Amino acid sequence: MSAPVATLPVSADAAASSSASTANKALIIGFVGLAVTALGLFVDDTHHVALSYLVGITYWTAIAIGMLMLVMIHHIVDAGWSTVIRRQFEHGLSAFKWLFILFLPLAATAFIGGGDTVWPWMNPAHVLHGHGTVETDILYQKKAAFLNVPMFVGATLLFFAIWTGLSARLRKASFAQDADGSVGWTGMNRQTAALGIPLGALSLSFAAIYWVKSLEYHWFSTMYGVWFFANCIRAALACGVFIMVWLTARGDYRGVLNKNHWHCIGTLGHAFVIFWAYVTFSQYFLIWNANVPEETFWYNLREVMHDGTPSQWKYVGLFILFGHFFIPFLYLLSFRRKSTAKGLFPISVWIVGVILVDLCYNILPALKDGNGDPLPFFSLNLLWVGASVVGVGGVCVWAYLRSLADSGAKLIPIRDPRIKESLTYHE
Amino acid sequence: MSAQPHGLIATFDSAAAIYHAAEQVRDAGYKRWDCITPCPIHGLDGAMGVRRSRVPSFSLAGGITGFCTGMTMIWWTGAVDYKLTVGGKPLFSPMFAFPISYELTILFTAFATIFGIFVLNRLPMHHHPVLKYDHIIRGLDDKFFVVIEAADPKFDGKATRALLEQAGGKNITELEA
């Protein structure tokens, strides 16, 4: 147990400077991505670029929320094995304040032009395909107390305040424990987690409802927040695998991780494959079975055009069914694959890719053509989605690396009461 | 009483001692032998050279059987045996057969896992020759035992005894079959 800790100070300086230079590269890549997205505003429809940017923001916010929930779950269940990995998630949490700043342009669209650049219900005069305007729509009127600009802006501010605040507390207590070793910090983190898990669950659910689900405000699904949560956790676990692979390759994690840590994160990832499938299937199945037009239209939009021919989104949906469930599920059944870096890395790359497609599937069909059909999946919008994901991602990765290099925190929480258990973890 | 004994049992005093003894027995190439310890010892399976359990194969087979049973049952009852349209739905759709198939997948997986454990461990086993050993009860308390069975192809009364002695085993005793 003493070996990895003893070698830490020696490698820390070299690692810190290497992290800092990688961080700057990530930031530059991020700016390029954001610049390309901004360029899109001049060459393409503003709606298309804005919704593509929403995909990028939601994607990285989901990853950060997943990390936040995983850290809090770690504390509330007093987990042992994940102590050596938790610190990396804590570094990842530093992205929230930048995500907030990056979200501001989207919130600003509520006050620009008609207000319906992203969310149609923000403009009372927005014309609905086939029937009147938002203002005269009974389904909007009944939801107006919830779906209005002050509520949206206030709620979004509150979401980011909750996420940033919880992150700051978790990071402070964890980093301070490195210095003084007081068990009190673990107690503080446990309290933060006890309060933070319900707050996090509510805020991530409402964020999914306001930001994504309200794009088609006629629709409703009580599973939506849970669906988003499942994606958050899956994305965060996949990013956890990337960080573990990277830090192992760079040498930081040498002697820290053993096979059982890989097995644990792989098993947890496998469990959440099933959880995601359970929730997503339940949402589809209940709507399919009840067959109520207010609900089925959301899936119909993603399956057939107005003339009854299948649209591209039908195949995207099938791709998600197989790519997001069957492939990772069958792949991770194997002990060998879920307990090694070599086995987990490719499936994690696959999973973060499919999560992006899943978010596209939920967001982009809100862009309609003159017939009320969603714009096809394969279009110029994918370029803006890609640019936004790279742009927001560059900033998030920069925030993580900067925290890793500059926060003064050790690579692992060396004075956590469970650190020895984690370093010698055995299934 | 048959002349052939069940095997040899040796006593060890600590987890470390039995761990290293297990490595030596493993390296000597024995296959039919076991360690009896009062508590789980981390890494002992590795020191013994035990491969991963084959129970997961049973579980997987059970899961696949359960899923297919669910789908077939719903299809046969709804679309073949007693055709009844409910709620304007097709006579068969994997959609509504899924919850049942999912449940049966889990149920059959659980049964197959239990069954696999019983079969692979040859349970139920009401008696084991090791239980005839006077001091075996200490294996629940503070002693560690290595048992090498006479059925092992490498078993040889003298050589095996020598190996156990060399590994630090005490009170090496022949077990009655």
Give the one of B42, B56, B98 whose C-beta lies nearest to A285's C-beta: B98
List the beta bridge partners of residue B33. Answer: B148
Note the pLDDT of residue A247: 95
> What's the average model confidence in pLDDT over B58-69?
97
Question: Where exactly are the structural domains of chain A?
Answer: 2-420
CA–CA gap between residue A33 and residue A394 (Å, rounded) = 8
- pLDDT band, residue A130 (cuts 50/70/90): confident
Q: Does the pLDDT of residue A116 top 80, yes or no?
A: yes
Note the pLDDT of residue A151: 96
CA–CA gap between residue A320 and residue B60 (Å, rounded) = 24
Q: How far is A331 from chain B (nearest CA, A)?
A: 13
Note the pLDDT of residue B177: 78
Q: Does B157 touch chain A (CB under 8 A)?
A: no
> What's the average model confidence in pLDDT over A15-44?
90
- pLDDT band, residue A18 (cuts 50/70/90): confident
Helices (H) and strands (E) in chain B, counts: 5, 4
| Mean pLDDT score of chain B | 93
Q: Does B100 touch chain A (CB under 8 A)?
A: no
**pLDDT tens readout for residues A299-344:** 999 999 999 999 999 999 999 999 999 999 999 999 999 999 999 9
Q: Which two tokens stand for residue A32?
A: 């390029």
CA–CA gap between residue A179 and residue B98 (Å, rounded) = 53
**pLDDT tens readout for residues A393-415:** 999 999 999 999 988 889 999 99
DSSP H or E run through A84: helix A83-92
Question: Which residue is it, tokens 């995207």?
Answer: A316
Fill in the amino acid letter for A54. L
Note the pLDDT of residue A322: 96
Question: Which residue is it, tokens 């359960």?
Answer: B66
In this structure, which long-range contacts are made by residues A314-322, counting pairs with CB atoms below 8 Å and at least 24 apart in sequence? Answer: A315/A377, A316/A357, A316/A360, A316/A361, A316/A377, A317/A361, A319/A354, A319/A357, A320/A354, A320/A357, A320/A358, A320/A361
List the beta bridge partners of residue A310. Answer: A304
Q: Does A326 touch chain B (CB under 8 A)?
A: no
Q: Could you give the C-alpha distances from A271 to A149, A338, B58, B95, B103, in angstroms and in order?
A: 38, 12, 20, 22, 16
**pLDDT tens readout for residues A204-225:** 999 999 999 999 999 989 999 9
State whether A335 and B52 contact (CB < 8 Å): yes
CA A39 to chain CA centroid, Å, is: 25
Give the one of A285, A335, A424 whose C-beta lies nearest to B95's C-beta: A285
State whether A289 and B87 contact (CB < 8 Å): yes
Nearest to A211 by CA among A175, A168, A160: A160
| Mean pLDDT score of chain A | 93
> What's the average model confidence in pLDDT over A9-27?
73
Note the pLDDT of residue A4: 44
CA–CA gap between residue A44 and residue A358 (Å, rounded) = 23
- pLDDT band, residue A426 (cuts 50/70/90): confident
Are the beta carbons of B63 and B125 closer than 8 angstroms? no
Interface pTM, i.e. ipTM: 0.85
Looking at residue B177, what DSSP letter applies? -
SS3 call for A310: strand
Q: Does A2 touch chain B (CB under 8 A)?
A: no
CA–CA gap between residue A209 and residue A220 (Å, rounded) = 9
Note the pLDDT of residue A13: 58
Question: Where exactly are the structural domains of chain B?
Answer: 7-52+127-175, 55-120
State whether A291 and B88 contact (CB < 8 Å): yes
Please give the interface size between A and B, counted as residue pairs whose CB atoms are below 8 Å apart: 18
Looking at residue A413, what DSSP letter applies? -
CA–CA gap between residue A79 and residue A14 (Å, rounded) = 31
DSSP H or E run through B149: strand B144-149
B144-149 and B7-12 strand pairing: antiparallel
Q: Does the pLDDT of residue A178 top 80, yes or no?
A: yes
Fill in the amino acid letter for A7. T
| Residue B158 burial (10 A CB sphere; 0-12, 13-18, 19+) | exposed
Looking at residue B170, what DSSP letter applies? E
Note the pLDDT of residue A9: 42
Note the pLDDT of residue B2: 52
Q: How far is A267 from chain B (nearest CA, A)?
A: 14
Percent of chain A whose predicted confidence (pLDDT) is above 70: 96
Are the beta carbons of B95 and A285 closer than 8 angstroms? yes
Q: Does B86 touch chain A (CB under 8 A)?
A: no
Q: Does A330 touch chain B (CB under 8 A)?
A: no
Question: Which residue is it, tokens 């999914």?
Answer: A208
Torsion angle, alpha carbons of B138, B144, B149, B154, to 10: -160
Q: Does A335 touch chain B (CB under 8 A)?
A: yes
| Chain A nearest-CA residue for B54 | A335
Are the beta carbons of B101 and B70 closer than 8 angstroms? yes
**pLDDT tens readout for residues A221-245:** 999 999 999 999 999 999 999 999 9
Torsion angle, alpha carbons of B69, B74, B80, B84, to 10: 170
Q: Does B95 touch chain A (CB under 8 A)?
A: yes
Quick one: three-class SS letters along A215-231? HHCCCCCCCHHHHHHHH
- pLDDT band, residue A19 (cuts 50/70/90): confident
Note the pLDDT of residue A347: 97
> Among the ranges A86-90, A249-253, B91-95, which has the highest mean pLDDT value?
A86-90
Q: How far is A260 from chain B (nearest CA, A)?
A: 12
Q: Which two tokens stand for residue A38?
A: 């901004």
Q: Does B75 touch chain A (CB under 8 A)?
A: no
Angle subtended at Cα A229 by Cα A93 and Cα A314, rounded to the nearest 5 degrees: 125
